[in-house]
Amino acid sequence: MLLLIVLLAACGGNSDAGADGDKKDSGDDSGSDKQVTLTYARGVDTRNSTDKLIKAFEEKHPNIKIKYQEMPSDSGEQHDQYVTAFSAKSSEIDVFDADVIWPAEFAQANYVLDLDRFIEADDIDMDAYFPGPVKAGNFNGKQWAMPKFIDAGVLFYRSDIVKNPPKTWDELIDQASKLQGKKGTKYGYLMQASQYEGLVTNAIEFIGAYGGAILDEDQNVVVDSPETVKAIEKMQKVVGSDFVPGNILNFTEIETESSFIEGNAVFARNWPYLQNSANDKEKSKIAGNVDFTTIPAGDNGSASALGGWMSMINRNTKHPKEAWEFVKFMTGPEGQKITAVEGGSAPTLPDLYDDEEVQESGVLFGDPDFVEVLNNAIPRPVSPIYQKISDIMQIELSKALTGDISAKEAASNMQKEIEKAMKD
């Protein structure tokens, strides 16, 4: 019996030692000294800001290494590759950048982690961000994505022609009509009216300006309203006017940019990147004569369609804590400053627009009007079936703009079709 007791004691001691050793080498990455490698995926970065972002993070977190996986430049191709990987429960990618229209879809499909516990634990102030991108990353009351950089619709104009840019859609219609033809211009206004995603972003700005919406916060379809009908009617008036190109229904961002920098138009709605190309002396005929302002207001004020990218965490990552540390860094002040200064992307933190280095890094970043544009940015419908909603809107809006149906019919059709899609 004495021998048995001694043997059991010895075995028990060895078992404890072994358990301690297992904790160090078992793959549990919760310890701060454990070396972890995360795979971070994002689209093509032509300015190499990602390398500098990763280097800065790794210097602060020597136990976490980041492997950068470059994805296709086309967001649609990126989306499809992520869906293929995440639906197969792959853990190869830990952190990835997502288009602002993806979070609800990926959350509903259970592809990503909800970030609320991390946000609360680290006391992250979500009110410190522009409201639009925060809303875009929130679905069913939970935050699934952190805002990384932002884009929003802007109204550009010829500063050598326009003295006081229009504040409302009615003023724009009036000025575009009267100023058309000045200094060699052919058109008063350019926009994106082709049947594609750009049409939806333009429509969102009209609808938001007049107080309409597609979905409410409870995911109810509310597009068939007097406000939306009025917005579509205003859009019809613009597209059907004599001051837009006869082929405006074929215009995307590319045609808008090309025509505007050729000096063909007084006003143009586009994304902020147009400011740089319009003032590029090597390719623009109007360099030095371009300025911008907020999208014109309707009855409910000004609304700019939200664009940009968010950072999300794969639900099947083996390193959730480390993944959050990287997301927190990228979307925090230091990471966003690097992305702005080195990559030229607009921060989602308003305070960074007071930073001198940020202001000097981009033509728009030091302009209070641009911050106003970003404050007015509203997301497209936050829904797990956003692509279906977009397709429905494109079809019905196109019919309205060609005159095949009325604005009232377009709103009614969208209501019925989107409700049906939500049930399916």
Quick one: which of 248, 209, 251 has its CA closest to 231? 209
Tokens of 48: 């190499």
Q: What one-letter code names the amino acid at 115?
A: L
pLDDT (average), residues 27-34: 52
Predicted confidence (pLDDT) at residue 67 exceeds the cutoff of 50: yes
What phi, psi does 292 have (nearest 5°)?
Answer: -145, 165
Residues in the chain, total:
424
In this predicted structure, what is the pLDDT of residue 160?
A: 98
CATH 3.30.70.330 is the classification of domain 152-305+382-423: no
32 pLDDT tier (thresholds 50, 70, 90) = low
The residues of the chain that CATH labels 3.40.190.10 are 36-150+307-378, 152-305+382-423
Instruction: Give percent of the chain with pLDDT exceeding 90.
Output: 88
Per-residue pLDDT at 4: 41
Both tokens assigned to 68: 């950068």
Homologous superfamily assigned to 36-150+307-378: Periplasmic binding protein-like II (3.40.190.10)
Amino acid letter for position 209: A
For 97, 172, 299, 406, the CA distances from 234, given in Å and listed in that order, are: 35, 11, 12, 12
Residue 186: exposed, middle, or buried by beta-carbon count in 10 A (0-12, 13-18, 19+)?
middle
Give tens-digit pLDDT for 294-353. Answer: 999 999 999 999 999 999 999 999 999 999 999 999 999 999 999 999 999 999 999 999
Alpha carbons 388 and 374: distance in angstroms, whole number: 26
- In tens, the pLDDT along 271-297 reads 999 998 999 999 999 999 999 999 999
Give me 315's structure tokens. Answer: 């639900």
Report pTM: 0.85
Q: Could you report the per-residue pLDDT of 150-174, keeping only the tens digit for each?
A: 999 999 999 999 999 999 999 999 9
Q: Which pLDDT score is estimated for 28?
A: 40
